[in-house]
Amino acid sequence: MASSNVPVVLITGFGPFRSVLVNPSWEVAKTLKMYLEWKCPIQIITEQMHVTYDDVSTKIPEHWLKYNPTVSFSKSKFVYLFLL
């Protein structure tokens, strides 16, 4: 976990799904981490999620408790932004 003066950003993407072996949402999450860490004084945490409702509904709250993010981005059909 980062110190309190450094914002923590949680970015999630999805893993493989059916015939899609490389999920674009995970590729975007990894790329954002690399790009943003060079440009901003922030801590980026990326987590890959299984493509199931159950995984998302349990792991997202666990990640919030574990990382206490300032901002959380989750990529699927919609982008969710949580300002905590």
Closest C-alpha to 16, from 49, 45, 47, 46: 49
pTM above 0.75, yes or no: no
Domain ranges for the chain, please list them: 8-83
Q: Which residues pair with 45 in a beta bridge?
A: 10
Closest C-alpha to 11, from 54, 74, 83, 70: 74
Phi, psi of 29 (to 5 degrees): -60, -45
Q: Residue 56: its pLDDT value, please? A: 82
Q: Could you state, in chain order, the average pLDDT of each consecutive group of 10 residues for the chain (84 residues)?
A: 70 89 89 76 87 85 88 51 35
